[in-house]
Amino acid sequence: MKKTVFRDQHFLFWIIPILFLLGFYFFPMASIFWRTFGTGTNALTTNQVNWTITGKAIGFTFYQALLSTFYTLLIGIPASLLFGRFSFRGKNILRILSTLPFIFPTVVVAAGFNALIGPNGWLNLLLMDMFQLSTPPIHLLNSITAILIAHVFYNTSIVIRVVGTAWEQLDRKIENAARMLGASPWNVFRKITFPLLFPSISSAAILVFLFDFTSFGVILMMGGAKYTTIEVEIYIQTMQFLNLKMAGILSFIQLFFTMLLTFISLQISQGKQIPIVPVIGGEGSKKPNTLYEKVFVFIMAVVLVILLVSPTAALLLKSLLSYSTKDLSGVLPSWRLSSENYSGLFINDRQSLFFVPPITAVKNSMLYAAGSMVISIMLGTFIVFGNSSAGRSNKWIDLIIMLPLGTSAVTLGLGYLTVFSTSPNSIRWFPVLIPIVHAIISLPFVIRIIQPAVQSIPENLHHAAVTLGVPKHKLWRIIDLPLIKGPLITAAIYAFAISLGEFGATSFLARPEYPTMPLAIYRYLNLPGAENYGKAMAMAAILLVICGIAFITIERLQIKNKGLNSK
């Protein structure tokens, strides 16, 4: 059905988003292209481009992304079964905890694993204490194992969200019908459950692969200097070697693959065919009955707690401990409970990398996040309302979602750098650019949250309002906006959290006197000394708590919105 009432003026909504995207997306992208292929020598013919490094980076990017996706599915699919089919005590808490990492900034994840398996991590301290060792026995950091563990931690929540939800909503009657027709439990899974879940599994797999493919912070912080993906290589070529041509080539290779993956991902998620019935009175999930089921639920819950909860807990604990060099035995370092790490954040240390007290990073991040939130909500709302005039076809929205989703943060950062660093003077504007680039990164998520809400507004509400004397051009403000208040708030919190944790693009644009929290954490983690380590932990803990609160607020809002819709 076409929104005839609206049709006339709604294209006006497009003007601001289009101008914005032209200026802050297409222009920077074109600029990379120009720098790489346009001026002077062509990048393809110059010796500035090292094809061996490029080839290696592409190879490793695919290799680690494939492995990460495989292991993520290996844990994520049984976890989806756990959440989709069984009810047990503490399920809700475990579900929230397992989906929490999705919103965690990469630096927090890195800091969490550092606190757990790093040289000063809990596991090493425990083992050193138990066996009286003088050096840490576990060397997991700076290895591919560390990268894989972090990626599994990060992306299992995506599988649980997508596949677990689908599994929960899969009509049990369909499986029961197969059992009644003589299908054994294995045949029910093979012929019915798996084929019906397949669209969800593949769409989760591609999404996970895309995130692993463009992973930047995790590789940089967990993999060390040995492992470089395309994304990390772009950063190194730009920031260390100032080789913009090489960075440009890599950006386009990256852009090609990510656009392709995003396109496939959007195609798959559209053709979803999962029967959705409301879950009535526990028909969807049941208590584990047989011994096998009980063992499965227990083991899976333990695995999830160890994998997903322990890095977070380790980080929070570490942030509250202080290191002291004078130990009675003289061999082992000793730790005690204190708030020194946190108070250290307020001191403007002379040896610090920054020119300001670290706590300023919290203030900066909050300001950037607030700015980014306002911009992306405005753009998102305009785009969604503008689209509702175009006969409700999602073609344009899909394209707008795909562009920033398919462009890696590092590529965007590079684009901004090439456009806006033409003169030394222009660097002054970088702090303004950060909320803008964050807004572009969070725009796909904002649109995805608002769009279904706007589309579900019944057309006859508009007709009713018009007959009651509401002018056409005010419909969206008087009728639509109040109706989508809930999703708007959710989208705003999402945008805020994404900006808070954004690391890739920010690392290109942030200036030392305006650090953000992720940058501060990254730099402290790379500095020697227990004090710096403690500060990294404290800052990461603050970021973790803020993101955690944001996430739980979103969960609450969604439950509330669901309640309203069902009435």
Partner 1 sequence: MLDLRQIEKEYDGQPLLNGLSFSVGKNETVCILGPSGVGKSTLLRIIAGLEQPADGEVIWNNKDISDLPPYKRKFGLMFQDYALFPHLDVFENVAFGLRMQHIPHIEIEKRVSEALEMVNLRHIARRSVTDLSGGEKQRIAFARALAPKPKLLMLDEPMGSLDRALRDQLTRELHILLGEMDIPVIYVTHDQEEAFSIADKLLILNEGRIVQSGSPQYVYTHPSDPWVASFFGLNNRLHGKIISSDPAVVKTDIGEVTISCVSERFSHGELVDVVILPTAVKMEVENQSQNIFTGKIVDSLFKGNSFTTQVKIGSDAEFTFEIPEKLSKGDQVTFTIDPDAILCFGRKD
For residue 108 the two structure tokens come to 């927090």
Residue 324 forms beta bridges with which residues? Answer: 334
For residue 346 the two structure tokens come to 């307020």
Pick between residue 7 and residue 191 the one whose CB is nearest to partner 1.
Answer: 191
Smallest distance, partner 1 to C-beta of residue 138, A: 46
Smallest distance, partner 1 to C-beta of residue 291, A: 15
Smallest distance, partner 1 to C-beta of residue 274, A: 8
Smallest distance, partner 1 to C-beta of residue 74, A: 24
Smallest distance, partner 1 to C-beta of residue 165, A: 17
Q: List C-alpha distances in Å: 153 to 102, 157, 528.
A: 9, 8, 26
CA dist., res. 160 & res. 79, Å (int): 6
Closest CA to 115 of 548, 546, 544, 551: 544
CA dist., res. 406 & res. 523, Å (int): 28
Smallest distance, partner 1 to C-beta of residue 182, A: 4
Pick between residue 42 and residue 176 the one whose CB is nearest to partner 1.
Answer: 176
Pick between residue 286 and residue 560 the one whose CB is nearest to partner 1.
Answer: 286
Pick between residue 275 and residue 333 the one whose CB is nearest to partner 1.
Answer: 275
CA dist., res. 234 & res. 251, Å (int): 7
Reported as half-sphere exposure (CB side, CA atoms, 13 A), residue 462 has a value of 22
Residues that bind partner 1 (CB under 8 A): 171, 173-174, 176-184, 187, 191-192, 195-196, 273, 275, 281
Smallest distance, partner 1 to C-beta of residue 183, A: 5
Pick between residue 275 and residue 529 the one whose CB is nearest to partner 1.
Answer: 275
CA dist., res. 62 & res. 353, Å (int): 35
Pick between residue 55 and residue 195 the one whose CB is nearest to partner 1.
Answer: 195
Smallest distance, partner 1 to C-beta of residue 200, A: 13
Pick between residue 190 and residue 556 the one whose CB is nearest to partner 1.
Answer: 190
Q: What is the dihedral of CA 227, 230, 234, 240, to 10 degrees?
A: 20
Pick between residue 170 and residue 369 the one whose CB is nearest to partner 1.
Answer: 170
Pick between residue 180 and residue 225 the one whose CB is nearest to partner 1.
Answer: 180
Pick between residue 172 and residue 448 the one whose CB is nearest to partner 1.
Answer: 172
How far is Cα of residue 551 from the mean position of the Cα atoms in its chain? 12
Which residue carries 């492995």 as its tokens? 67
CA dist., res. 254 & res. 251, Å (int): 5
Smallest distance, partner 1 to C-beta of residue 261, A: 25
Beta strands in 110-242 (DSSP E): none
Smallest distance, partner 1 to C-beta of residue 283, A: 10
Neighbour-count burial for 332-354, b at 16+ CB within 10 Å, e otherwise? eeebeeeebbbebbeeeeeebeb
For residue 92, the tally of other CB atoms under 10 A from its CB is 11
Q: Which alpha helices (H) appear in 406-429, and where do they start and end?
A: 409-420
Which residue carries 């297409």 as its tokens? 26
Smallest distance, partner 1 to C-beta of residue 172, A: 9
The secondary structure of 298-364, three-state, reads: HHHHHHHHHHHHHHHHHHHHHHCEEEECCCCCCCCCEEEECCHHHHHCCCCCCCCCCCCCCHHHHHH
CA dist., res. 189 & res. 195, Å (int): 8
Pick between residue 282 and residue 424 the one whose CB is nearest to partner 1.
Answer: 282
Residue 149 has what DSSP assignment? H
Pick between residue 276 and residue 295 the one whose CB is nearest to partner 1.
Answer: 276
> What values do phi and psi take at 321, rounded to 5?
-110, 150
Smallest distance, partner 1 to C-beta of residue 198, A: 8
For residue 161 the two structure tokens come to 């969200």
CA dist., res. 144 & res. 148, Å (int): 6
Cβ(410)–Cβ(236) below 8 Å: no
Pick between residue 181 and residue 478 the one whose CB is nearest to partner 1.
Answer: 181
Smallest distance, partner 1 to C-beta of residue 176, A: 5
- How many residues in the chain? 567
Which residue carries 């049941």 as its tokens? 286
